[in-house]
Chains A and B, each alone.
Chain A
Amino acid sequence: MERTEEACFHCGEPIPEGVSLFVLRDGQQKPVCCSGCQAVAELIFSSGLGRYYQFRQDLGRKAEEDLEHNIEAWRGCDERESLWGAELADGRRDLLLQTEGIRCAACAWLIRSHVENKPGVESVQVDTATGYTRIIWQPDKNRLSSLAESLMELGYKPHLPLASAEEQGRQEERRNSMKRLGVAGLGMMQVMMYAVGLYAGDAFGIAVAERSFLEWVSLLVTLPVLIYSGRIFFEGAIRSLKAGSPGMDVPVALAISLAFIASCYNFFVGSGEVWFDSVVMFIFFLSLGRHIEMMLRHRNLQAGAALARLLPEWAERLAETGRETVPASDLVDGDKVLVRAGESFPADGALISGVTEVDEALLTGESRPVARGVGDQVIAGTINLSQPVEVVVTASGQETTVSALGRLLLLAQSRRPSSSVIPAWLVPVFIVTVLVIAAGTWLSWQYIDPDRAFSAMLSVLVASCPCALSLALPVVYAAASRRLLDDGILLTRGEALPVLTQVDTVIFDKTGTLTCGQPEIAAVRVNPERPEVKKERALQVAAALEASSAHPIASAFHPAKTGLPDSRSLAMETVTVHEANGISGGLEGAHWKIGKAEFVLDSDAPGSDESIWLADEHGWVACFELQDALRPGAETCVRNLQQEGMTLAVLSGDSAEAVNRVADRLHISDRTARQSPEMKLTRLEELRKTGQHVLMVGDGVNDAPVLAAADVSMTVKGGAELANSAADMILTSESLGLVNKAISTARRTRQLVRQNLTWAVMYNASVMPLAVSGLLKPWMAALGMSLSSLLVVANASRLVRNNTEITNS
């Protein structure tokens, strides 16, 4: 309850104590958490776009504090024409920006309404699903940086347009597929209508002239559908024949072309049946299946497209002429760069000035910051925590340690066992069988009744079409990934679902996965010789001292966590932050120190590395034992998995002591500490050799290769982009309970897949004899095939529908 009162109107984050910023809405003052959010909200209201707040489905992205700095960086790119986007006719540019922070349709509307009013902008499109903003603009009327600025002032963060060419290619593919589908669908409606006339004519009689007119029109409509929409099947068939392994396209192309040619022959000769309706119906339903499959594939690709976001995009280069902001990809060995506190290093390098602490958890899994001085190596992607430093670049771009990890990941991915449900040899065998049966049918009917031979053979080809069979898997996976998304799990690789049902071993990373990566106070010891200082008092003094520090440890003392009244406004005097050691300051006449044992106490004291000591002039007062806070839901998740009989293990790069503490709390006996990415990979290979199916849950860059190599992998919320791109599933909410949810959804999915496959196989097997015996006409076969496919789709959608029932109840 308290939280909602204090939450920022724009981004929903708690409002820091002492901040009193407001925006005016309908005469009411709404609190905001920072001047950035205030500026965004004011801009939205003043442009008359306040309705955004009424309709948004998710809170806004917290505004960047250093807007000016980012805009400055974009300005440096104004002259680079390669970044302006694809050139259109008359000099306009088609700019595609991946934009962070787009969460719902209201965001898309906000961006469109705001950016479209800028000079030189012709149109703006926002894709909420992929986060891409497309701007058609005229470079002579505006600048790239002011377009970026217009996005940033709304609180969204555009990224440098680097890999947009691929996305443009995919969009083209989507549009082409939609056009083929539309043409086939419209054509089908027409030809079916004429077919009704023809069948009615068969039953009640029809004049020869009218009959041939209807047939003639059918041919006229079928021809463009065949050429435009059916082309992909012919191309696919030729490609697979050239490659020497006939695919599903071969009987499809054969059926389509035979039916069409025979219909044309019968039409021009003026006797016998025409099957134009079967041809277009067949093309339409197959195109529909292909389209669904393609949409699914593209969504998966987009989820992995964020790989490049690991390294900072910009670097501040120290040139002889002064500081300049350049894209990080422009850095070369020997360049000097300035890295401010809180920024990550743009390249591997050595420190040439300054002393700082670096958060390397991304790479090593170590939860505590590491001190770095002049001459020390720093690694691209790690975060500079305390002081601005200068770094001379030793490796950039593809040469960095992180990029090497990326390559290790690709290698691990290629070694992953194939998990296709339908074995590869089955398809050609199936196809050849169908062709043999079709030919056999034709030959037998030549002896019985030559007139019906062709019609029977056509029925066999159409009836055998494994349309429902080929839809059975993709539609269930589409429904499953939708269901998972509703639950907060992003599925990036559909094939991972069946494997998830076989998992019997779960490996967890520690830092950031089982724990949140943020310290909390586990225990407070007060000095028995100083009874006048109570525990609460000690905590309050500590909180007051730590309030001035941005160090991760300071967050443990935040009043929100300790549950004590806020003491950060206590009149602290002369607070000094001693880098990598602690903090000192005066309060009510006493001089207090807080920090590590060697800083606070003169002699070594009992207690672990994780202890923080508080002392005044007269000696130590209290000792705070810190521990890494467990992720919400971690305990239930682990207990449920153990109840299901799974083997659990913790694999971490952190120290043995830290790993033991967490593993003990969760009752996981199998634990290994101080593991490099390579060692983790070896351990996984060993487990897999014993025949176990491994689910890996991790978050850091150092986990990425293991995530890629495991049978199934998940990353938790806040995981590194590289890790996300290696994972099969990304959990998008804080709780680890989603792991159990994913497993149960996977089991339901397997159930539905089995039902669908059984139905599809049974249908195909049972209509085949009817087709061979000539009882089944081609149009019946085509209709039956479509109905069978629809049934499979309807069955799959149960997975999504059940979900809404559950959430409603």
Chain B
Amino acid sequence: MSMLYVLIPLALILLAFAVWALVWAIRSGQFDDLESHGWSVVLDDDQKPPPHPDDEKEEEEEKKS
């Protein structure tokens, strides 16, 4: 049972970390809008679909300007 004296303090450290993480998340506004971020998974795509040749040009132009 002496493990208790190690595990519980460890759990408390984890708890402190969880509270800090939660407060940080709330402060940075992650709980302000719970709906639209779920959608960004389907909408944002790192792998962009093969761009249309015209689109590519326009994008480059946008970057330049």
| Residues of chain A at the chain B interface (Cβ within 8 Å) | 45-48, 51-52, 55, 105-106, 108-109, 112-113, 125-129, 134, 171, 174-175, 178-179, 182-183, 186-187, 190, 194, 207, 210, 213-214, 217, 220-221
| A174 contacts across to B, CB distance below 8 A | 32
| A187 contacts across to B, CB distance below 8 A | 15
In the assembled complex, the Cα of A582 lies from the Cα of B11 at a distance in Å of: 83
**A48 in contact with B55 given A109-B44, A128-B35, A175-B27 (CB within 8 Å):** yes
Q: A46-B62, A182-B22 are in contact. List 8 more A-B contacts (CB 8 A).
A: A46-B55, A51-B42, A108-B36, A129-B35, A182-B26, A190-B12, A210-B1, A221-B15
In the assembled complex, the Cα of A187 lies from the Cα of B31 at a distance in Å of: 20
For this complex, into which size category does the number of interface residues on chain B fall?
Answer: 20 to 34
By Cβ-Cβ distance, the 6 closest A-B pairs, closest first, are A108-B36, A105-B39, A105-B36, A182-B22, A46-B58, A109-B43
In the assembled complex, the Cα of A127 lies from the Cα of B37 at a distance in Å of: 10
**A109 in contact with B15 given A175-B26, A217-B8 (CB within 8 Å):** no
| B15 contacts across to A, CB distance below 8 A | 186-187, 190, 221
Tell me whether chain A's interface is mostly helix, strand or loop, or mixed.
helix
Contact B32 A125 (CB under 8 A): yes
Q: Which of A47, A126, A182, A213 contacts B19, CB < 8 Å?
A: A182
| Residues of chain B at the chain A interface (Cβ within 8 Å) | 1, 4-5, 8, 11-12, 15, 18-19, 22-23, 26-27, 29, 31-33, 35-36, 38-40, 42-45, 48, 51, 55, 58-59, 62
Contact A48 B48 (CB under 8 A): yes
| A183 contacts across to B, CB distance below 8 A | 19, 22-23
| A106 contacts across to B, CB distance below 8 A | 39, 43
A38 to chain B, nearest CB (A): 15
Contact B33 A55 (CB under 8 A): no
In the assembled complex, the Cα of A113 lies from the Cα of B62 at a distance in Å of: 14
B16 to chain A, nearest CB (A): 10
Which residue from chain A places its CB closest to the CB of B2 in the assembled complex?
A210
| B5 contacts across to A, CB distance below 8 A | 213
**A128 in contact with B36 given A186-B19, A207-B1 (CB within 8 Å):** yes
Which residue from chain B places its CB closest to the CB of A185 in the assembled complex?
B22
B33 to chain A, nearest CB (A): 5
Contact B32 A105 (CB under 8 A): no
Chosen A-B contacts, 10 in total, with CB atoms closer than 8 Å, are A51-B42, A51-B45, A55-B43, A105-B35, A126-B33, A182-B19, A182-B22, A210-B1, A214-B8, A217-B12
Q: Counting chain B CB atoms within 10 Å of each CB, which of A47, A108, A174 scores highest?
A: A108
In the assembled complex, the Cα of A47 lies from the Cα of B63 at a distance in Å of: 11
B50 to chain A, nearest CB (A): 11
In the assembled complex, the Cα of A781 lies from the Cα of B26 at a distance in Å of: 32
Which residue from chain A places its CB closest to the CB of B39 in the assembled complex?
A105
Contact A125 B18 (CB under 8 A): no
Contact A108 B33 (CB under 8 A): yes
| B32 contacts across to A, CB distance below 8 A | 125, 127, 171, 174-175
Contact B51 A48 (CB under 8 A): yes
| A182 contacts across to B, CB distance below 8 A | 19, 22-23, 26
In the assembled complex, the Cα of A129 lies from the Cα of B33 at a distance in Å of: 8
A236 to chain B, nearest CB (A): 22
Q: Which of A52, A109, A134, A214 contacts B36, CB < 8 Å?
A: A109
Contact A55 B12 (CB under 8 A): no
Which residue from chain B places its CB closest to the CB of A217 in the assembled complex?
B8
In the assembled complex, the Cα of A52 lies from the Cα of B32 at a distance in Å of: 22
| B4 contacts across to A, CB distance below 8 A | 210, 213
| B35 contacts across to A, CB distance below 8 A | 105, 108, 128-129
In the assembled complex, the Cα of A125 lies from the Cα of B31 at a distance in Å of: 11
| B59 contacts across to A, CB distance below 8 A | 46-48
| A190 contacts across to B, CB distance below 8 A | 11-12, 15
In the assembled complex, the Cα of A186 lies from the Cα of B17 at a distance in Å of: 11
**A178 in contact with B26 given A48-B48, A186-B18 (CB within 8 Å):** yes
Contact A178 B19 (CB under 8 A): no
Q: Which of B22, B36, B43 contacts A126, CB < 8 Å?
A: B36
| A128 contacts across to B, CB distance below 8 A | 33, 35-36
Contact A109 B33 (CB under 8 A): no
In the assembled complex, the Cα of A171 lies from the Cα of B27 at a distance in Å of: 10
Contact A221 B12 (CB under 8 A): yes
| B26 contacts across to A, CB distance below 8 A | 175, 178-179, 182
| B55 contacts across to A, CB distance below 8 A | 45-46, 48
A203 to chain B, nearest CB (A): 16
Which residue from chain B places its CB closest to the CB of A220 in the assembled complex?
B12
Contact B12 A179 (CB under 8 A): no
| B42 contacts across to A, CB distance below 8 A | 51, 55
Which residue from chain A places its CB closest to the CB of B23 in the assembled complex?
A179
| A207 contacts across to B, CB distance below 8 A | 1
Contact B44 A113 (CB under 8 A): yes
Which residue from chain A places its CB closest to the CB of B48 in the assembled complex?
A48
**A109 in contact with B39 given A46-B58, A48-B51, A128-B33 (CB within 8 Å):** yes
| B27 contacts across to A, CB distance below 8 A | 175
| B48 contacts across to A, CB distance below 8 A | 48
| A126 contacts across to B, CB distance below 8 A | 33, 36
Contact B31 A178 (CB under 8 A): yes
B2 to chain A, nearest CB (A): 9
In the assembled complex, the Cα of A175 lies from the Cα of B59 at a distance in Å of: 39
Q: Which of A46, A55, A125 contacts B29, CB < 8 Å?
A: A125
| A46 contacts across to B, CB distance below 8 A | 55, 58-59, 62
| B40 contacts across to A, CB distance below 8 A | 109, 112
Which residue from chain A places its CB closest to the CB of B45 in the assembled complex?
A51
In the assembled complex, the Cα of A568 lies from the Cα of B15 at a distance in Å of: 73
| B23 contacts across to A, CB distance below 8 A | 179, 182-183
B37 to chain A, nearest CB (A): 8
In the assembled complex, the Cα of A220 lies from the Cα of B42 at a distance in Å of: 44
Contact A51 B19 (CB under 8 A): no
Contact B33 A127 (CB under 8 A): yes
In the assembled complex, the Cα of A171 lies from the Cα of B33 at a distance in Å of: 11
In the assembled complex, the Cα of A375 lies from the Cα of B40 at a distance in Å of: 57
In the assembled complex, the Cα of A174 lies from the Cα of B26 at a distance in Å of: 10
In the assembled complex, the Cα of A108 lies from the Cα of B42 at a distance in Å of: 13
| B33 contacts across to A, CB distance below 8 A | 108, 125-129
In the assembled complex, the Cα of A179 lies from the Cα of B26 at a distance in Å of: 7
In the assembled complex, the Cα of A214 lies from the Cα of B4 at a distance in Å of: 9
| B31 contacts across to A, CB distance below 8 A | 175, 178
| A112 contacts across to B, CB distance below 8 A | 40
| A194 contacts across to B, CB distance below 8 A | 8
Which residue from chain B places its CB closest to the CB of A110 in the assembled complex?
B43
Which residue from chain A places its CB closest to the CB of B34 in the assembled complex?
A129
B12 to chain A, nearest CB (A): 7
| A52 contacts across to B, CB distance below 8 A | 43
Which residue from chain A places its CB closest to the CB of B61 in the assembled complex?
A46
| A186 contacts across to B, CB distance below 8 A | 15, 18-19, 22
A298 to chain B, nearest CB (A): 12
| B62 contacts across to A, CB distance below 8 A | 46-47
B23 to chain A, nearest CB (A): 6
In the assembled complex, the Cα of A13 lies from the Cα of B4 at a distance in Å of: 68
In the assembled complex, the Cα of A190 lies from the Cα of B8 at a distance in Å of: 10
In the assembled complex, the Cα of A188 lies from the Cα of B45 at a distance in Å of: 39
B38 to chain A, nearest CB (A): 7
